[in-house]
Amino acid sequence: MTKMDHDELNLRIAEMAASVTWDASVPDLMTEALAKGEGELTADGALAVTTGVFTGRSVKDKFIVADAATADTVWWDNSAAMRPEHFALLCEDMLNATAGRSLHRQHLLAGADPRHQMRVTVFTETAWHALFIRNLLIRPEKPTSGRADVTIIHLPSFKADPARHGTRSDTVIALDMSRKLVLIGGTAYAGEIKKAVFSLFNFHAPAAGVLPMHCSANIGRKGDVALFFGLSGTGKTTLSNDPERPLIGDDEHGWSTDGVFNLEGGCYAKTVKLSAQSEPEIYAATRSFGTVLENLKLGPDRRPLYDDISLTENTRAAYPLETLPAVAPGGVGSTPQTVVFLTADAFGVLPPISRLTPEQAVYHFLSGYTAKVAGTERGVTEPTATFSACFGAPFMPLHPRVYGELLAERLRQSGAHTYLLNTGWTGGAYGTGQRIDIASTRRLLAAALSGELESTQMRRDPVFGLDVPLAVEGIASRLLDPRQCWADPQAYDAAAAALQARFATNFKKFDPPAIQAAE
């Protein structure tokens, strides 16, 4: 098959499909989705859908085409390769599969900064997926002109052939980084579309001097920008949604020499155990017209059952940013003043907050540590350390050193203060200790964002080498020293040493000479 450019792909699909609906509005997409039985209307006007077998990303079915542009740049330890000839066959077969189908095409933007923006065309066979991606990417005020930078063909009904296409199964997420072309088949989980855009951005952004980040960002009254990095369950979305600090974005950003910009125009929030009391802004967004609710069951009153995880714990809501009450205009912010790395340490040994040197910041960025607790996954019976480079390894195609060096440069240029905020356990590991209360976490975060901690006397943690405040107004001094919170200090020492050893073992795979001193 001859390699087609984006215009040729668009023309081919338009010729083969029975119909292609262009940039349908939210009401039109809602109407079609309901008419075709793709979902249920909630009492508040949201669309509740299910994603079938796949209720999360199919990590082992994601591939990157190995070609001249990727052979020596992609971190293949972290990515599966697909031969160009297999991708060509897959593309041809998926194009043929569009014959006679009714498709939706959405023209959208990724990147709130026009200087670092991608024009994205998404073809999909269901109205609800078109609504999903319309909610999550940036909706242009006027129809986009010129050729697309990115084309995504999304056909959940298509089944890949491992023998013919070089896949692992009949599910496939294949990215041609050179052509910025994505093929998704065999899965209805909508997050694959969103993360494909992020993966493309993360591959290309560093070449333009932009640090791509899996983080949330908000902005204070004085224009002070804060970034929040963290894996699932660490509080990234909860802590960045603050009515006093308008949200720039909740998941994917770029940091250029001019400041921070959101990659998206919406939010993809987890909704498990959501309540109006714990997260009022997100709760209200799930009850807005046009919001897509993934795998959330409805009660007899047709309202979401947030505590029902019978389909999956990974229940989600996709809604536009403007659904929230406090949003930064334009999705952009100035150079960050504060960077926060969130971790939920289930071993109960990390301090609740620590100030990091620039070298330590890069070390913890590359480490991307949190801990899974017992019961979250089959077979997990005790806390398990989890390391995900750059707090988003599955979406970072280049070697983590590339992103680490960019972060180091940005921190040097900005002078941003960096903190490690532990939202996990104290007084013992999960099952023995207790979760650090949210009020204390918010108070410590406020102290970091206000600059209060920069003038606070610190102690050096003897195990992790971190600077920990000796006192913070409103916080019990005992909480600031996790060793004091354990009934058995020797047991704390053993647990802390074991976690530090895990950090050191994980970090060996990076071996970046410029930041070895941080270890």
Q: Which residues are catalytic?
A: 57, 195, 214, 232, 236-237, 251, 316
Question: Computed over its alpha carbons, how large is the radius of gyration of the chain?
Answer: 23
d(CA 206, CA 212): 7
Distances (CA, A) of 64 to 78, 82, 87, 115: 11, 6, 9, 26
Tell me the C-alpha to C-alpha distance, in Å, between residue 516 and each of 288, 359, 363, 504, 519.
49, 8, 8, 11, 6
Record the tokens describing residue 440, joined without a space. Answer: 């204390």
Name the residue among 90, 251, 66 with its Cα closest to residue 173. 90
Q: Which residue has the tokens 């056909």?
A: 155
321 contacts 328 by C-beta, under 8 angstroms: no
- Nearest CA to 451 among 496, 419, 406? 419
Angle between helix axes 358-367 and 489-507 (nearest 10 degrees) is: 80
How far is C-alpha 275 from the geometric centre of its chain's CA atoms? Answer: 22
Q: How many CA atoms lie within 13 A of 194 on its CB side?
A: 28
Is 386:371 a contact under the CB 8 Å cutoff? yes
Angle between helices 358-367 and 400-414 (to 10 degrees): 150
Please tell me the distance from the alpha carbon of residue 65 to that of residue 44, in angstroms, as a whole number: 43
